[in-house]
Structure 1
Amino acid sequence: MTTTTIARAWRVRRADGFELGFTDHDAVLTFDGVRFRPDHGMSARALVQATGLSVDNSEAEGALSDDAITERDVLAGRWDGAQVKMWEVDWTDVSARRLIFAGSLGEIARSQGAFRAELRGLSEPLNAARGRVFHPRCSARLGDGHCKLALANETFTTEAVMADIEDGRVLHFAGFPAYEAGWFERGNLMVLSGEAEGLCGTVKDDTAMQGGRRVIELWQGLGVAPAVGDRIRLTAGCDKRAVTCRDKFRNFLNFRGFPHLPSEDWIMAPQAGDRRG
């Protein structure tokens, strides 16, 4: 009878620094300052790996347990993009181990008290588009290194206390600072306090009402809904148009689009005339 001493161990680290370790061995393993627990908080399927620059892919799955990966944290998106490392380790001598996977958690699905998460390899970012995009609208993200807009300016960022919430995504405010209607549409909302602290959403609709009341509707709920009295930060939205960059943000010198680029209709239309001259 042949006996193996090889076990698998994996560490998952969230963006906020919280980390968990799991193993398919029947006892705790400890290395790199992490305790790898033998419970069923998470397990991983066999890896599908390829040579070259192909993306490694696999799935991790497990139970939503109170002391490991909770359903509330998954709903809140706190595990999205978490770093994952997986080793094959000799449980009789943990110094004899081999790293077999490094990457991050991708899309997470939930069903009947369990979760299933895609594992994305280190080559996943190579799928992203590279190079300059030639388009009438701006290619920069508001406030990034290309845009260079200082979002800390109170003109573009404000904080308020939530007065009410409907359907988990329609937030009401009273005594809201004076901003024109629609100022925060396409902008960002972040919860600064309460159980939903740190969660962000994108603003779909921004309605200004009489008496300083404001209604902010998100495209989708935050997973963990903020509660009345929670403090919210809102950042102005940008629709990427040149006129918006010029008139709303006074930042046209840093506009990264091509507003005078001819439209596809003009390029394709035969009646556009002789373009040789």
Structure 2
Amino acid sequence: MIQLLKPDHWKDYELIDCGDFEKLERFGSLILIRPEPQAVWAKKLPDSEWKRLHHIRFKGRSATAGDWVKKDPKAADRWQITYSNPQVAIKFRLGLTSFKHVGIFPEQAVNWDYIAEKVKSFKTPEPKVLNLFAYTGGASLIARAAGADTTHVDSIKQVVTWANENQEISGLSNIRWVVEDALKFVKRELKRGKKYNGIILDPPAYGHGPNGEKWKLEDHIREMMQDVVQLLDPEEHFLILNTYSLGFSSVIVENLITGAFPAVQNLETGELYLQATSGVKLPLGVYGKFFKSK
């Protein structure tokens, strides 16, 4: 199954065009040009239109870092956008980082909608949701706004601080913030006998824990899945696994989930991608998700 995000109801985000290893995106009132390794085709719009439309462009200095070049020196380094669906509304503080990101992955909006729908449909009062590799907290904010008792885990203190700022401007409170290696946290929760109604995983291809722990997706994801499914409440739950790795397919995700959790119900797998206004589609990872209701 292909999952398509057409952000018609998200007025603060638009993928305008992509190609030649770049993407042209609007976040609120600012239009950015950023690198995109998946965009191996030619741009649909002419270069002159990209130059006319954009406010800020990212230029890499190395494989991992670069600088933002502004057409207007007064353009903001930090700004806010809103995301809403029929269930919830949240806000994000965006910013220009040295590693091309701005603090949000827009394709995850389809997963946010799924989270809000499941949390609100559960019969469990204040269901417990765990967000692993949680970054600046989009899924955490959505879960909390929908009424979940939410735990947010990431190994980088600065992004957890950023997520807390997003909580504050969204008018939310009481998300549990944890700065720790995700696999270590899961193993500790298993020893404590903890259970969650919802678990979200969006692991990177490579990463490091706060104490130098190494994460490599293909080396550690099977162990993570085998552990994390044991944290699911047996009566009512959902789980989302999202991967952004050029070597992973939705079949691999399906095999990981069914191998770790043979009793899975309502499994859905596929590919996430954004539809550009210019007509081209940009693939941005594969996913698997499932749920069980009372």
Q: TM-score, normalised on structure 1?
A: 0.28
Compare the two structures and name the one with the higher helix fraction.
2
* Structure of larger gyration radius: 1
The answer to which structure, 1 or 2, has the higher relative contact order (CA under 8 A, 6+ apart) is 2
Q: TM-score, normalised on structure 2?
A: 0.27
